[in-house]
Amino acid sequence: MIVLGAVLAVLAVDPRGDFPLSDDWSYAHTARTLCETGRIEFLPWTGASVLFQAAYGAVLCTLVGFSFTVLRLSTIVLAIVGALSFGRLLTALDVGPKRTRLAVAAFALNPLYFSQSFTFMTDVPFTAFALAAAAAYAHVLKGKESEPGQRSPYVSLLGASVLASAAILIRQHGAFVVAAAAFATLFMHHATWRKRAALFTTASVVPAIVFVAFHYWLFTAQGAPAGLQNKVSETSVALGLATFDHAFRAAVTLAFAALPIVALSDGRLLGRHRRAFITFATVLGIGAVLAYVNDGSAMFYLPNVQFDFGLGAQTLRDTLFLGLDPRVTLGATLALPLTLTSLLAAAAYGAYVWRLPHTIETPVQAFVVFTAVGMFLGSLLHGGFYFDRYLIPVLPFAIAAFLVALPRADTLPSRALAAVVVLSIYALAGTHDYMSLNRTRFDLIASLEQRGIGADRIDGGFEYNAWHSAATSGTWPTKESARRGQDTTAKSWWWVTDDEYIVATSRLDGYAVAQTHTYSTWLTRGPGEVLLLERE
């Protein structure tokens, strides 16, 4: 059912389009270079380890030729694998079949996870391998290896550690899954301490070797890209005041993403945690007031994928460089109820999981909670720019931890089902509109190229100019110049040579509208518009 539903959702959105999206041009560059030259080349933009992702991308390139559509389909396949692995992990937790199905649907059709499945970004592939490794670790931690006919726990742990190593070679944060699994083996009270030590070593030794060897090779032989070096420097100052702001925004955003599962909480049971709920609600409320006073922000608190009113990174001159609002925005009509709902959900989540350290009963439960905490804290190491998509790997483990905190039952209240439906509609419609807009955008650019107008005369948006010029430009933007909302007199920072032509969704001063193309929208009324602007 999961696979069939996923196929239908993908066909409805339509993944076609040989064009980059968001930052995936950087990872696609590494995959294509490896395919065509056999050489590994990380662009300075790259901050993730990405090696394994580039490797399987290069294999696909060798087999069927390079195409962003093919790379995108590989991510979609891994997204389905991730959803299946999440279901297997929840089965090991014994949360009940109905809650398992609800949680898998809430995760697979979450707007962040679903929309990023249509890119070659690292978020979804990393999450898929992290969940596959977690499910394999959980099988051993549950103790099933002691049953007749089961594989040796060491063989299972070795398989899990290989999957975790693959996750580490996509993103370094896979180390949190390994650390949590290794630590959880110490809670296997049915085993002797000698056996626990052996299980601990088997769970962690291969990923540890891979982690150290990769970074030794990267920093000594290959040369670490500037993006990764920036991540390392950000980590050293991650305990600044900005980190607490990021933690607040991340917690509220995560609660919104997990809303269908938080809706399983019962008001009467929540009353038993009244003091914790009030405490969390008060702290989060103060955070919301401070955020609003500081920069007028409300939900959506974190940038990049989710925005009012749609999904997908906004990367054109008008929406990113100048920071103009999207064509359709609901403003306070959406922000106020969304903020209040998300704050209450975050408070309810906190009230339930607060006592988890005192109520964990099994190694599997300990593993899930440790991983959720590690992934969340690890996401905060992104000090310079903190995006909502960084929470994608956190989400399934946060959902699992909340299910552990809930009293055992397998009922599904209507509010939980309604939340899944609403978020699924948002995910499907928003992703459809995002893909439809970008197909139209790149069709417009293709019409310019057919007239002999090269990339050096076009500002086609961040991905277009980055894909054509970043690798050969020798220049890279500073953090401040890359932030949203820049001066109208400057050219867009994304390697634009001459902006004689600009592709945008809004009219801009000094430019005449040369062409207007419409695209299909599901989330908003009427067709959207992409404009080809020519300098007057």
Dig out the tokens for 398 from the structure.
């946060």
Tell me: pLDDT of 238 over 60. Answer: no
**Directed axis angle between helix 51-64 and helix 123-141, to 10°?**
110
Distance CA 512, CA 514 (A): 6
What does the pLDDT average to over 20-25? Answer: 96
How far apart (Å, rounded) are the C-alpha atoms in residues 179 and 263? Answer: 30
CA distance 284 to 300: 15
Angle at 80 between CA 78 and CA 85, to 5 degrees: 90
pLDDT band at 252 (very low <50, low <70, confident <90, very high): very high
pLDDT band at 300 (very low <50, low <70, confident <90, very high): very high
> How much is the average pLDDT of 335-363?
92
Instruction: Specify the range with the lowest mean pLDDT, choosing from 68-82, 230-244, 261-275.
Output: 230-244
Assessment of whether the complete model's pTM goes beyond 0.75? yes
Which of 265-279, 406-420, 426-440 has the highest mean predicted lDDT (pLDDT)?
426-440
What residues form DSSP beta bridges with 532?
503, 515
Q: What is the mean pLDDT of residues 251-266?
A: 94
Question: 430 and 518 in contact (C-beta within 8 Å)?
Answer: no
532, containing H or E segment: strand 528-535
Rounded-to-integer distance, Cα 199 and Cα 188, Å: 10
Angle between helices 97-108 and 394-405 (to 10 degrees): 150
DSSP annotation of 321 reads I
Return the pLDDT at 407.
85
Residue 261 vs residue 267, higher pLDDT: 261
pLDDT higher than threshold 90 for residue 302: yes
- The phi, psi pair for 514, rounded to 5°, reads -90, -40
**Confidence (pLDDT) at 239:** 57
**DSSP sequence for 37-62:** HS-----TT--S--HHHHHHHHHHHH
What is the percent of the chain where pLDDT is above 90? 75
The structure tokens 């969390």 sit at 280
Residue 341 has pLDDT above 90, yes or no: yes
Whole-angstrom distance, CA of residue 120 vs CA of residue 525: 29
Q: Does residue 452 carry a pLDDT above 60?
A: yes
Band of pLDDT at residue 91, cut at 50, 70 and 90: very high
pLDDT confidence tier of residue 227, bands split at 50, 70 and 90? confident
For the segment 270-299, the average pLDDT, to the nearest whole number, is: 89
Residue 101 pLDDT > 60: yes
**How far is 277 from 390, CA to CA, in rounded Å?**
26
Give the residue with greater pLDDT, 524 vs 467: 467
Nearest to 383 by CA among 244, 201, 266: 244
d(CA 68, CA 321) in angstroms, rounded, equals 25
Phi, psi of 307 (to 5 degrees): -150, 170
- Rounded to whole angstroms, the Cα distance separating 319 from 163 reads 39
Closest to 251 measured CA to CA, from 399, 386, 376:
376
501, two tokens? 């032509």
Instruction: Reply yes or no on whether the pLDDT at 304 is more than 90.
Output: yes
Residue showing tokens 């007749």? 148
Q: For position 146, what pLDDT does the model report?
A: 46
Q: Above 90 in pLDDT, residue 357?
A: no
Intra-chain end-to-end CA distance of the chain, in Å: 55
Name the helix (H) or strand (E) containing 480. none
Residue 147 has pLDDT above 70, yes or no: no
pLDDT tens sequence across 423-448: 999 999 999 999 999 999 999 999 99
Amino acid at 86: F
Across the beta sheet with 501-504, what order do the strands follow? 458-459, 501-504, 528-535, 511-519
For residue range 370-388, what is the model confidence (pLDDT) as tens digits? 999 999 999 998 767 899 9
Q: In terms of DSSP H, where are the helices of 152-218? A: 153-168, 174-185, 193-217
107 vs 104, 129, 227, 420, 471, CA distance in Å? 5, 15, 29, 9, 35
- What pLDDT is recorded for position 525? 83
pLDDT tens, residue by residue, 463-500: 999 999 999 988 888 888 888 889 999 999 999 999 99
pLDDT band at 450 (very low <50, low <70, confident <90, very high): very high
pLDDT band at 234 (very low <50, low <70, confident <90, very high): low
- pLDDT, tens digit, 9 for 90 and up, residues 160-205: 999 999 999 999 999 999 999 999 999 888 888 899 999 999 999 9
Identity of the amino acid at 463: E
pLDDT at 145: 46
**Does position 223 have pLDDT exceeding 70, yes or no?**
yes
Q: Nearest-CA neighbor of 26 among 390, 387, 391, 476?
A: 476
